[in-house]
Amino acid sequence: MRNALARVAPGTPLRDGIDRVVRAQAGALLVLSDEPDVLSICSGGFLVDAPYSPQRLSELAKMDGAIIISTEGGRIARANVHLVPDPTVPTSETGTRHRTAERVARSLDVPVVSASEEMGVINVYAGGNKRQLQEVGHLLERANQALQTLERYKAKLDDAITNLTAVEVEDVATLRDVVAVVQRGEMVHRVADEIETMIIELGFDARLLRLQLDELYGEIDDELDLVVVDYLPAGSVAEDILSEMSKLSDDDVLNLRVASDVLGRAGDNDDLSQEVAPKGLRYLHRVKRLPSGVAEGVAAHFGGLAKIQRATLDDLMSVDGVDESTARAIRETMTRITESTILDQY
């Protein structure tokens, strides 16, 4: 869907042609692919094979049939063709043009654009998804509202991470503290994902939105990966856990007990008050120029953040790959995090 939206974003030649069709109060059915499987369902029409231009598209749209645009978008392959998709493919549409568009998109997995003659509505179909294109002003307003929502969720996520850091330093972290971070991180990701789609749909008009999203979203994914890795059982992969979290409904994500089950920890995940101990990787990754392999080695050697915090220079230097300067850097980082956390609390 995002690839399809990028092709019909404001400022693109294809969108210019579609807007001309709508302004002329004409309808259009555009298949944005000329692959053999698309041509195999075409009947009748004319072989055009001419360079694409918005003017050509608006003129060809005066005919009733579908228009086939080349996959790369640079040529108009055919016009006034009758499409014969698989009639058994389910569709929720009622109009002939929209039903055909959805069936072609579902059965062939190609992007299809349908412009309504009477309503002037432009729908984009890609696979099993449908999205109605909106006016730039309305879409910008929605995107700005989504950015404000993202700011609020980001603030809640920051609070959850700060709280987790505080309880980890005191070695009193609970499953509830961990799940709260993962849960709020997933909600931030969902809002950011929706804004990303809006940015693609807006095209050239979304430059400022892109800057704002990059500033707000930043390195959230990396932070969440480290939180999950810190509490994962052996053999689990953080990406898989976060992927499973993304499949939950909004209600399930907001349910702490359901979200805790996704983490795949052994024991009673319904007991959110149970104490859990981090491996310490999130802290070790803050040590400058410390390779990931060495950080994992330190975490595995000591078996938990609490022991890393208490480790002496000699203890740290007993780990493969840790020399005196690296050991000092680890000690300084641990001390700095502890002190800053205590200061934030008081």
Place domain 2-133 in its CATH homologous superfamily.
DNA integrity scanning protein, DisA, N-terminal domain (3.40.1700.10)
Say whether pLDDT at 38 is over 60. yes
**Is 70 exceeded by the pLDDT of residue 267?**
no
What size, in residues, is the chain?
346
Residue 308's identity, in one-letter code, is: I
- CATH numeric code, 281-345: 1.10.150.20
Q: Which residues make beta-bridge pairs with 126?
A: 129
Amino acid residing at 301: H
| Whole-angstrom distance, CA of residue 33 vs CA of residue 76 | 10
Per-residue pLDDT, 258? 87
pLDDT of residue 84: 92
CA distance readout (Å), 182 to 34, 170, 195? 43, 20, 20
- pTM comes to 0.79
Measured between its terminal Cα atoms, the distance across the chain in Å is 49
Please state, as a whole number, how many other Cβ atoms lie within 10 Å of the Cβ of residue 169. Answer: 21
CA distance 214 to 227: 21
What is the pLDDT averaged over residues 23-48? 92
Report which DSSP code applies to 205: G
pLDDT on residue 149? 93
> Sorting pLDDT into bands at 50, 70 and 90, what band is 341?
confident
Q: Could you report the per-residue pLDDT of 45-79, keeping only the tens digit for each? A: 999 999 999 999 999 999 889 999 999 989 999 99
- Rounded mean pLDDT of 245-262? 88
- Given a cut of 60, whether residue 157 has pLDDT beyond it is yes
Question: Encoding tokens for residue 210?
Answer: 């892109």
Predicted local distance difference test score (pLDDT) of residue 127:
83
Confidence band, pLDDT 50/70/90 cuts, at residue 263: confident
pLDDT exceeding 90 applies to what percent of the chain?
A: 58
66 beta partners: 81
Closest CA relative to residue 326, chosen from 311, 313, 310:
313
Q: Where are the domains of the chain?
A: 2-133, 137-262, 281-345
Q: Does residue 152 register a pLDDT over 90?
A: yes
Looking only at Cα atoms, what is the longest distance across the chain?
82
DSSP state of 74: S
Q: Which CATH number does 137-262 carry? A: 1.20.1260.110
Task: Give the mean pLDDT of 11-34.
Answer: 92
